[in-house]
Every structure is written in structure tokens, then in C-alpha cells.
Amino acid sequence: MLFLLSITLLLLFFIYLYLEEVSPYPTTSIEREELEANQYTKGDTKQGTDQNILQNNKAKGRSLKGFERVADATDSTQSLSDALFEKEFKYSKEQVVVASDEVEVFVSERRRLEQKTTGNRSMRPVNLNPNAELSSPSSSQQQVKMIQGEKIPLQATIKEPILVKEQRLLPKKKLASDTNIFTTRVNSSECGHTVYYAYESSPTSDELFIISQLKYGDQVLSDEMFAYQQGGVQYLPIQLLAELLLLPVQLDSESLSLSGWFISPERKIELSNGLLSYWNNKGACGFPDGEVFFDDWDLYLDKGLIEHMFGLNIRFDASRQRFTIQASNDIPLSQLLAREQKFKAFEAEQKKLASQQIMVVESLNANIGDLAGHIDLGIVSQQLGDVKRTSDEGFIQGRSDLGGHNAYLGYSWSDSGKYINGYIEKFLSDQWVKHYRVGSVDSHSLPLVSESSSGLGVIITAGDGYTNDFRHIVIEGEIEPDWDVELYRNNSLIAIQRVGVDARYRFTEVPYYIGTNQYQLRFFGPSGESRSESFSKVLDQSVLEQGSVGVSAGAMVRDQDHLKQYYLHTNWAVTENITAGLSLINQERADGDWQFLPKLSMNLLGGENLFQLNLAHSGDGYALGAALQGSSDNFDWNADWQFFDNFNSWESAQTELVQEANLSLNTNIEDSSLSLALSANWKEYMQIDDFIQINAQLAGQFNRLSYSNNIRWQSNGSQELVNDRIAISGKLFSWYLRSYLDIDILPELELNQWVVNANTALSDDVNYQVEMSYQAQEQNAHSIRNSISYLFDQSSLRLVLENFSDGDWFAQLKWSSSFLWQPSSGLLLQDSASYLNTGAIIIKAFQDDNANGELDDGELPVRGLSFSGHSRGGEKTDNNGELLITHLQTTQAQRLKLNEASLPDPFLIPLASVISVKPHPGHIEKVPFPILYTAEMEGQLFTTSGSVAKGVPIKLQSHTAENEYAVRVEFDGVFIFERILPGRYKLIVGDKFHDNVDLKPGEYLDLGVIALTGEGNVIH
């Protein structure tokens, strides 16, 4: 009855959500202002990855700020091609002028990078792995960061903003659909005219972003496009989409407005102030009013709305996080491909400009770094039966650079014991040895012989990278005790863990398929803290370039049983489609009982499939294994088979196992945000009955809730079991809700576990969390846990009270604080938010008088500069020109953009307007930021007959850098170069070299009159 009542209440709750169309956003203007203010004062800022811009067609952005785009062609595809590529381009710092059409285009491209802070979520340790039993997370030492290499995209200089950020964070306005014009539009039954869409603008929320692939027909336009998803509806970044599809649409990110046209200039697109007007190009007239989301980089429009605007069919594959646009006659793929060559020439010119707009800072490990630390100290009192006891507990963590390496040490103590975890490691990008680590390690996975295991030892990876085991991966790392960790793959919830006293989380057998696998870790602290890490791991059809060699080696003592293992593995690319591998393993089966296990492996490529064969031998027997990865239009799949003949190893510890087979399929439900995963496992034993297990998992989103439902059937010949596991996580109103339900259906209906955790912020400083739990296997089946936390500026204090159904109780009072200490300057920072897994930089802005990019004696600091791309965008450089930025994400490079409106003088210009830096914990990166006084130059150009040489292009090309500026002679014969970076330049008139020009900071140079002969020669 309890189970039926629970299910009934859960169903009624979801029906209520559906009927009421619950909005996760506040409805009053006051709540709205508070939400939007918190979004920018507390939340970290997401920025984008770069690969989406630089791949395939490499469509380059056009962003107009304060200018109108003019085009007189009637055919959109041909006119756009003419306007963008067949005209001469002219550069005058930020502008590219198309002479024949007099179009001023600002070229902009952007990258995104996730880093946010939301609310607390907490949960019992739960493993949602369909092949695993319910268990707490096992120990781990190493935080796996599987990130693709960074590519820096083109970036244009930024005009002064039309509106500052604070001006555009306005309360929600009344929907324009209340007006007569929208009544007329809704009632219209015919199209072929302009329609209107009323919207409310809302800031994005980090947990609702999805990293996706974008395809147009069969052509991949982007492998890492940041889209937005809420309530099962996908929202696409309109400016990025316009760049990739070459649409004549421009975004002003400062005023949150959009303008352009499609098919012909008469079919205008205008978006601003809660109203979008566009020419409907698909289906019935109009589209239901809704929301438009925004961040610092783009506007996100409903996928269905974009289909109406541009006459497109867009399909979303939730299991692969892929958007596929059906090729359209209005945006023909053939023309996109034909333009690729023209884009290459265009891109080469843009790279000259982009190199001056992005400052790439290489972050290196210091010999003696700065110390990032975290301290938890607590008192615990509890009653178990008739026994009452009080004890202390604590945890201390530290991370720093040491001798050019990154070092970590953690120590904890409690009633359950003492734990220590530490290591020192180094990553090298330009040397044969790529990575090594000593201390707490996680071994490489060796199929048939040893799964990846945690322990104490050393591991080394060298040579060219390769995929040694593509069946699944392990993700692990360190975080403070009592934190909850959620793991998502392609936006689907995979597993949940609560970190124990050893401060480690470890996810095993994580799904891994051909293509780009997007993973996200969401961390939720017991005092309301939160952060996320996003990373990708690509499994493609390439193994190694022919002739290349990869090596991995290790020696370790395994944590779980203290057994030892030594191994050496090498992989050699025989051809581009075949690699051969040899592993030499010396493994301890029991205390003092060693065995030598040589293993051969081979990887084969065939179309969209990847095949791996393994053969291992011992003194008593052998093992044979095969794994196959494949991909089709509708699903991805993974199969592996292993056979053991009197073979004993860590992976097959009991010789009773004869063979094992696994099959996994991953697909999506069409036109939905749901993904479906099917898996099966079969094991044959010598003495006991065969084991069979079949799983079906459905995952998706509803509003701001992520959910996962996993049904599992098991049979061992004599008994059948059917189990259902349901997990829900996400935000509901002002609460962050997490619920986990575990039900046995066969052999009899029984509720095994039900945990509900809810968390909310009572104020800016106070967080409350309640957790209700039912554990059928525990003696105290029912419990309720209340905790309240107060966040000070430099620490937090948490009180936890838990009561059990038999009268037992548990109480905990814990104080936590994090610090960052820089010994060289004596700087000491304390915060309630951890510095342990985040990075920090100090920007030093100075007036670079000699334009050498370095801070020299006598050069003055520049105060008052602010940067976007981090959680405290309102902070500015101080009187020393310094700005300390902390709590930056470390898994990918951060991009910080100068707010040029904060420059104190219009003639000042940064050497680069964007800083790209990948900080790491335990070291405050120092970033010099030169600001230059620009120069001006003008002259006059006439023909020898005395007439004005109107329209002749004139260029300045730098001798020492890739700077280039271009203007054209005006109607009166005058040409003017403004805001030119100081340096030595070539002056080119038409296509002929004229003279060398030296420009100093702040200089104004008048060249006088230049005469142009009929042959194009110039006379000064």
C-alpha cells in the first residue's frame, strides 16, 4: 500500500506540472530583478569552445553594432555570395568594408566555456549503472580530465556597447500578444507576409546547456555547439547559426537585438524589446509566443521558431546530442561547399586580425607555486541503541605547484578511520612523454587482464595517443567530503554518488561510443555550494597515424586487496587502418603468488566500425576477447565477447567463468529530448547456471528536471528478478530537488529504497536542506535529515540533525573554509567557496608606451578596466592596474573579454581584447595586459591631372606583426587611419608599395598630398 500510494502521489504531481505548465522562473518583476541580478553577481560565466567555428565550412560571423547592413540583390544565396566574397575587403581596425556595396561588417567569433554556480543538491550514494548493484562510490585518486585540445577562433575587436549589462537586465514586460496586432496575426489563416512573435527575455542557466553537434545535410558544421534546453524544448544560438549557414542576420549582444533578412531584403527580420517580426517561411502563420534566452555571447531561439523563420526542418537526436538540418533549396549545400574555398582566403585575412585580438597565455607549472587549501572541522554526536558517543572529525586538502609539477595531498579522520591521498603529476604537450603521475594513481585498462584500478604507484603515458580499451571509461577525482556528484553523458543522467570521508568519487563503466561523447560533472555541496565541469572525449575511426608508436606503463599496489601489478603496453600503427599492440603484465593473484601474462591486441578499422581483438596467455590457460563499436544513422552500438580457458587474472578472478558477452545500443526517441539505452549481459559458468541480464534505460528532461528510468531483468536459471530504478534531479520553483526510487517488481512487488532530497536558499547567506529516506534493508528503515548552513564571507557553518524511526539520532556541527596563499606577495585569500579545484589569475594592465608588449620601468598602470567571462564582471583593475580573478574553471581554457567601454580614453586600445588562459589549481597565473595609445595618420591622394583618386584602396602593413589596416580614398581625396597600433608599417597605395611609416604612441602624422600616375605609380 505504501508503494501504491507513493506512485499515485508521484503521478498526480507530474500531471499537475503538465497541466499548470510550471515555469521555473519568477513571475513578479521584483523576483525577476533579483534572479537576473544574482545571475550576474553570483553565477560563473559560460563561454564556448572554439572548434565549432574552425571546422568544415568555417563560416565566419558578421556582427553589426550600430550600423545597418545594405544589400540590393534579390536572390539571397547569390547576393550573399557576391556581397561577402566577390567584393574587395577593406580593414580599418574593426571594420571590413565591401567597396561596391559600402557594407561595413564587424567580424566576430566566440567561444564558450562552462563555469557556473547554482544551488546545493545532496543525495544518498547511488550508482545508476545498469550493470551494477546499488553501492557507494569506491575510492579513487585521480581526477580524469579528458578534454580536446583548444583551438582559438577568430575574434573581432569590440565596439563600445550600446547598453551596459545593468541596463538590459529589466523586469519582464507584458506580452505583446495582448495587443490587437497579435490578435490579427493569430487569426490569419494565410501566410506570405510578416508575422510577429512576442517573447520574454531570460538569462540562461548553466545546468540547462547542452553541448551538441550541428549537421547540415551530411556536412558537419560544428562538433561543439552550445544549445539550450528547457522543458523538452531546444533553443539554438541564432548568431552562431547565422555564421555557419551564411545567413544575412546580425546580433547586437549588448542591446540583445537582432536584424537581417532572408531570401530577399524585403523579408526583414527584426528582434528587440520583446518583439520579433519575420517573414513566415514554413507551415501555418505565426508561432506561439514564448521566451528568448541570452548570455554574454548569443541569443537562443526556439528550434521550432527558427524552422518557421528560415523554412528549415531541424531534427534533434537526444542520444547523440546532434541537430541535423535537412538541406534546403534556400540554403543549398552545394553553394555552402563551393564557398569553402572563398572562405579559406577570407579566413587567412581574418587570422591576421584575430591574432591581435586574442592573447593566449600559456599556463606552466611553477617551481614553487601558490597554495590552495580547504579545511573541514566538525563535532559529531550520535545515539545508536543505548550507546551515545561524541567524536571529532576533519578533513584537510592542499594543492600547489612543486618543482614544475602539480601536487595534491588530502588527509581525513573520523570514526570510520583515517585516510590519506596524495600524488604529484605532470602533463607535457610537446615531448615524447605526455603524462606521468606518482602516488595515488589509477591504472590503465588492460582488457582480459585488468580493468582500471585505483591504488598506490606510478603510471606513465608516452608517444602518440591511442585507444587501448574502448568498451567504457572511468571518471574520477577529488572533492570535499559530503558533496554529491552527478554524472551526465550527452545531457542524460548516468549516475549519482555521495563523496565519503576519503574525498574521492569514481564512476566506472561509463558509456563510451563512436563520435563525440560530451560529459558533465555537477558538484553539489552540503552548504549550498555548486559548480560543474564539462569535458568531451572523442572515439573516432582513427587509431594511430601509420608508423607511430604509443606506450603506457605502470606499477601499483591495488587499494582493495593490496595486490601488486607491473605492466608495459605498446601500440604500433602498422597501416592507417591496423594497429598492433603488445602488453607484458606481471600480476599478483594472491599474496606472493605471481603470474606473467603476455597479451596481444589488434585494432581494425572498417567504414563506421572499430574492431578490437585481444589474446592473453598464462601458464595454465588463455583468454580471447573481441570488441566492436559501430554507428548508424539512428543508433550507436557496442558489443564485446570474452572467452576464458583455465585463465585467472584480476578481471577474471575466478576460473569458474567460461565466457561473457555484452551488447549495448543507444538511440533517441524521434522529435523529443528522450534518449533510450538498451543493454544485455550474458555469463556462462562451469558449475552454476548461466547469468542473463537485460536493461532498458529512458532518460530526458521535463522543464528543469532531469530524469532517468532504468528497468532491469535478471535470471540465473533458478530465479528471475525485475527491478526498476527511477532518478530525478533538477530545479522546481526555488528548490533544487533530487529523488531516487528503487523498486523490486519480481519475484514480488517491494519498495527497496526511496530518497528525496530538497534544497533551497532561504537568503543570500542561509541555505536549508532536507532529506527523507526509506531503506528497506536497514534496521532503521525511515529517517529524516535536516541541515541548515550559514555562509560567512570567509567560511561556512553547518548544523545537521538526523532522526531515525527507532529513536536513534545523529547530530553534526561542521565549520569549513578555503584559502589561497601566494608566498611571494604575502597575499592570503579566504572564502567559503573552495579554491582547491579552481584556478586564479592576476591581470596587470599597463600603458605600453614603447609598444613592445612588456611591462617596462616607468610605464604607468591603467585602472578601471573590467572584463566579462567570469563570475565577478563588475570588478575593475585597481590603482596598480591589477585585477585578481578567482574560481575559474580549469578543465578548459577560459576566455576573458575586455569591456572596452571601461577604457579611460578613446585613443587607448588593448594589444588584445580577449585573454585566453587555462589556469590550474595551486598557482595564481600572472597575465600582463598592455594598453597602447594609438596613432593617427592622414593624407590626400590625387591623380597627376589633379582629379580626386576616389575609392583607391590604401593599406598599412606591419613589418613586425600581422597587423594590417585598410581604408579607401574619400570623395574629397582624403584618407584617414585612426586608432592604429604603434609600430613600423609599409604604406601601400593601390597595389604598389609607396613608403615606410613609423608611428609612435599617441602620434598624429600628416602625409600631405600623394600623386597617382596613370600607371598606378605614386609621387609624394
One DSSP character per residue, 195-246 reads EEEEEEEEE--GGGEEEEEEEETTEEEEEEEEEEEETTEEEEEHHHHHHHHT
Cell numbers of 773, please? 529516506
The mean pLDDT of 976-992, rounded to a whole number, is: 87
**Is the model more confident about 526 or about 232?**
526
Residues 973 and 940: beta-carbon distance below 8 Å: yes
CA nearest to 568, candidates 485, 463, 660, 495: 463
d(CA 805, CA 772): 11
More confidently predicted of 531 and 163: 531
What is the C-alpha separation between 290 and 410, in angstroms, rounded?
49
Residue 928 has pLDDT above 90, yes or no: yes
Using the predicted structure, report yes or no on whether residue 137 has a pLDDT greater than 50: no
Q: Which residues contact 712 (CB under 8 A, 6 or more apart)?
A: 130, 693, 694, 695, 721, 722, 723, 724, 725
Q: Which of 168-177, 390-399, 917-926 has the highest mean pLDDT?
A: 390-399
pLDDT band at 687 (very low <50, low <70, confident <90, very high): confident
Residue count of the chain, please give it: 1020
DSSP state of 174: P
| Pair 973, 948: CB distance under 8 Å | yes
Residue 343 has pLDDT above 80, yes or no: no
* Cα Rg, the chain, nearest whole Å: 31
pLDDT of amino acid 243 = 83
Grid cell of 807 as nine digits: 529513536
Sheet holding 914-917, edge to edge: 358-361, 914-917, 894-898, 867-868
Q: What is the pLDDT of residue 191?
A: 67
CATH topology for the 838-933 domain = Immunoglobulin-like (2.60.40)
Q: Which residues pair with 258 in a beta bridge?
A: 251, 271
What is residue 282's predicted lDDT score, i.e. its pLDDT?
Answer: 81
Helix (H) and strand (E) counts in the chain: 9, 62
Q: Which of 107, 111, 109, 108 is nearest to 50 (CA)?
A: 111
Residue 542 has pLDDT above 70, yes or no: no
Whether the model clears a pTM of 0.75, i.e. scores above it, the answer is no
* Cell digits of residue 674: 528522450
C-alpha 151/C-alpha 536 separation (Å) is 14
C-alpha cell at 872: 565577478
Burial 777-812 (b: 16+ CB within 10 A, else e): eeeeeebebebbbbbeeebbbbebebbbeeebebeb
The pLDDT-based confidence of 6 (bands split at 50, 70, 90) is very low
Query: What local confidence, expressed as pLDDT, does residue 131 receive?
Result: 40
Neighbours of 270 (CB within 10 A): 15
Question: Is 135 a residue whose pLDDT tops 60?
Answer: no
CB distance 1007 to 994 below 8 Å: no
pLDDT digits (tens, 9 = 90+) for 469-498: 778 888 988 888 888 899 988 878 888 888
Using CA atoms, how far residue 500 sits from 138, 140, 291, 506, in Å, is 9, 11, 41, 11
Locate cell 590503465: which residue? 444
The candidate with the shortest Cα–Cα distance to 981, out of 914, 912, 915, is: 912
**935-1019: same fold as 838-933?**
yes
Of residues 136 and 773, more confidently modeled: 773
> Residue 654's pLDDT is what?
64
Among 161, 118, 94, which Cα is nearest to 24's?
118
CA distance 447 to 558: 17
Percent of the chain surpassing pLDDT 90 = 31
* Integer Cα distance of 521 and 489 in angstroms: 9
Burial of 168 from C-beta contacts in 10 A (0-12 / 13-18 / 19+):
middle
Residue 132 pLDDT grade (very low, low, confident, very high; cuts 50, 70, 90): very low
Spell 943-952 as b/e; 16+ CB within 10 A means b: eeeeebbeeb
- Of the two residues 940 and 104, the one the predictor is more confident about is 940
pLDDT 10s digits, 422-442: 999 998 877 889 999 999 998
pLDDT tens-digit profile of 235-275? Answer: 999 988 888 888 888 888 778 899 888 888 888 999 998 89
Q: Percent of the chain beyond pLDDT 70?
A: 77
Amino acid at 218: D
Return the closest-CA partner of residue 573 out of 539, 546, 603, 610: 546
pLDDT band, very low/low/confident/very high, at 722 (cuts 50, 70, 90): very high
Distances (CA, A) of 855 to 294, 860, 867: 37, 9, 20
For residue 8, count other CB atoms closer than 10 A to its CB: 10
* Per-residue pLDDT at 393 exceeds 90: yes
Bigger pLDDT: 329 vs 227: 227
Alpha helix locations (H) across 253-372?
303-310, 333-357
Q: What is the pLDDT of residues 52-64, one digit of tens each?
A: 333 333 333 333 3
More confidently predicted of 326 and 53: 326
Cell representation of residue 6:
507513493
Quick one: CA torsion of 313, 317, 322, 327, rounded to 10 degrees?
Answer: -20
pLDDT of 207 over the 90 cut: no
Residue with cell 526555488: 734
- DSSP H or E stretch at residue 78: helix 76-85
Specify the pLDDT at position 472.
Answer: 85
Average pLDDT (864-890) is 89
| pLDDT tops 60 at residue 511 | yes
DSSP assignment of 948-991 equals B-TT-EEEEEESSSS-EEEEE--TTSEEEEEEEPSEEEEEEETT
| Average pLDDT of span 894-915 | 86
Neighbours of 417 (CB within 10 A): 9
The pLDDT of residue 790: 94
Q: For position 338, what pLDDT does the model report?
A: 56
Q: What is the mean pLDDT of residues 722-741?
A: 90
Above 80 in pLDDT, residue 84? Answer: no
More confident residue, 182 or 601: 601
**Is 50 exceeded by the pLDDT of residue 505?**
yes
Assigned C-alpha cell, 31: 523576483
Of the two residues 654 and 277, the one the predictor is more confident about is: 277
- Over residues 599-618, mean pLDDT: 88
Q: Mention every residue, 6+ apart, whose C-beta is less than 8 A from residue 768.
A: 759, 760, 761, 762, 786, 787, 788, 789
Please say if the pLDDT value at position 32 is more than 60. no
Contact status, residue 145 vs residue 839, Cβ threshold 8 Å: no
C-alpha–C-alpha distance, residues 960 and 911, integer Å:
14
State mean pLDDT over 278-283: 84
| Cell numbers given for 518 | 560530451
Interior angle at CA 588, CA 582 and CA 593, nearest 5: 125
CA dist 334 and 465 (Å) reads: 36
Asked if 617 and 606 touch (Cβ cutoff 8 Å), the reply is no
Take residue 153 and report the three cell numbers written for it. 577562433
Lowest mean per-residue pLDDT among 31-45, 191-205, 848-862: 31-45
Q: 470 versus 887: which is more confidently predicted?
A: 887
- Strands 275-279 and 264-272, by their bridges, are antiparallel
Closest among 699, 611, 837, 709 to 44, alpha carbons compared: 837
Average pLDDT across the chain, whole number:
77
Residue 501: pLDDT band by 50, 70, 90 thresholds?
confident
SS3 341: helix
pLDDT of residue 397: 93
pLDDT of 796: 93
pLDDT for res 302: 93
Q: Where are the alpha helices (DSSP H) in 628-683?
A: none
Residue type, 756: V
Greatest mean pLDDT among 16-20, 395-399, 486-490, 776-780: 395-399
User: Residue 732 CB: number of other CB atoms within 10 A?
Assistant: 17
Domain 935-1019: CATH architecture, name and number where available: Sandwich (2.60)
- Mean pLDDT across 40-65: 35
Question: Is residue 626 pLDDT above 90, yes or no?
Answer: yes
Domain ranges in the chain are 194-338, 428-655, 658-748, 838-933, 935-1019
By the 8 A CB rule, do 77 and 248 touch? no
Residue 468 has pLDDT above 60, yes or no: yes
**Bridge pairing between strands 953-958 and 983-989:** antiparallel
- Is 849:861 a contact under the CB 8 Å cutoff? no
Of 60, 59, 114, nearest to 228 by C-alpha is 114
Structure confidence at residue 337 (pLDDT): 58
Highest mean pLDDT, choosing among 242-256, 585-599, 955-969:
585-599
